Structure 1
Amino acid sequence: MSIDKVLMERSGGVCELCGSSENLSEFTVAPKDEKILVCGTCSEQLNDADKVDPNHWRCLNDSMWSVEPAVQVVVYRMLNALKAEGWPQDLLDQMYMEPEVIEWAQEGMADESREPTKDSNGTILEQGDSVTIIKDLEVKGAGFTAKRGTVVKNIALTDNPEQIEGRVNGTRIVLLSKFLKKM
């Protein structure tokens, strides 16, 4: 696979994360599909979370100052993934990124701090699940009651872990998860 000439010139022929010149390849930074140049070690660890060596990533204290937004995004994501080590938090506190770059970086990260949405039995609900309403619920503003036993298919999770969105009687409504049971 040939490496893009512009990418090679921009990076100076070294990994844009750790500075190594060994086994270079392009790494696509989702969801914008911009590319950065990475070495074999960085590529392997970026693609497989089980192979991450926290000490390898101490190089991010230099690459976090890159002017390339795609490099900043990868650095930000990796520092967040390594937060449990302690030292990455200091680097995150020092790091400066434009608001749209932070948004891009966060867009590709899983929100592990978010509490899961659970039904009345404590079962975790996922996007697209089907649930049953366990109590008659008056739907304010819609003029009907969502009856006990009604099946709500293909639910959508909301920012609030105590609520889901679903379609009942042809109307999209917000339901409290404590009144639902996963099917």
Structure 2
Amino acid sequence: MNFEKQLNLRSGEKCELSGSIDHLEAYQVQPSEGNSADDFILITQNLKDQLEGKKEPVANDWRCLNDAMWSEVPAVKVIAYRMLHKLKEEGWPNDLLEMIYLDDQELSWAKSGMEDEDAVKHIDSNGAVLKAGDTVVLIKELDVKGSTITAKRGTAVRNIRLVQDDPTLIEGKIDGQSIYILTQFVKK
């Protein structure tokens, strides 16, 4: 029996979150091996697009989590937990987060696939999140302190490093010299 047949049998050919029967697709709950049906849930294309970031999450589309969070399927509970956390500014998910129950293994799985909200985020001048190894471009001519170098506007800085304790600074090389650059003066 392949995964799709197992998913259809387990879900009754309905979205395991919303109960809808339209445009159903298998969604692999990361991080997982994808070796069994237990690593997947059957969901609508709309919810899948929101989970994958192809669409912005619409809070009302996720009100179905009120019922889905009580599922016996660990992958369904993991997705419910993650989305409730993602939408907690809406207010109503906070009540559900207080009620949801995940055993230690499920909670570990749920947290391993979530972004760390408390992590320091480096943001460029356009609001894009910078990651180590990115290439950025200077948006302003900058005088490099302690040197005679002037970094010209439009200069590409490759393979940047993030300053872990300061979200306003990155480190990169210009003309072979390592320098610190304020994130407000770069764009991805």
TM class by shorter chain equals 0.5 to 0.7
What is the number of residues matched between the two proteins? Answer: 157
d(CA) in 2 for partners of 1:71, 1:158: 37
Q: Which amino acid aligns with 2:117?
A: E
Deviations 1:96-126 (A, max 9, x none): 0011111111111111222348xxxxxx985
d(CA) in 1 for partners of 2:31, 2:100: 21
- 1:49–1:78: structure 2 CA closer, same or farther, 3 Å change rule? farther
Give 1:6 shift. 1.0
Q: State the TM-score, normalizing by the size of structure 2.
A: 0.62
Tell me what 1:17 maps to: 17
d(CA) in 1 for partners of 2:89, 2:79: 17
The secondary structure found in structure 2 opposite 1:36 is strand
Tell me what 1:109 maps to: 114
User: Identity over the aligned pairs, expressed in percent?
Assistant: 43
Flag structure 2 segments of 5+ consecutive residues without an equivalent. 123-128, 135-158, 168-179, 183-188
1:68 aligns with 2:65: no
The secondary structure found in structure 2 opposite 1:13 is coil
Out of 73-82 and 2-11, give the one that drifted further: 2-11
Tell me what 1:87 maps to: 92
Deviations 1:66-93 (A, max 9, x none): 1111111111111111011011011011
Say what the alpha-carbon RMSD is for the aligned residues: 4.0
The runs of at least 4 consecutive aligned structure 1 residues that moved more than 3 Å come to 124-129, 154-162
Q: Which amino acid aligns with 2:5?
A: K
Tell me what 1:5 maps to: 5
Tell me what 1:44 maps to: 49
Query: Is contact 2:120–2:164 with CA below 8 Å preserved after alignment?
Result: no
Tell me what 1:144 maps to: none
Q: State the TM-score, normalizing by the size of structure 1.
A: 0.64
Deviations 1:2-50 (A, max 9, x none): 9711110100110000000001110111111311100122122222252
Q: Which amino acid aligns with 1:99?
A: D
1:98 aligns with 2:67: no
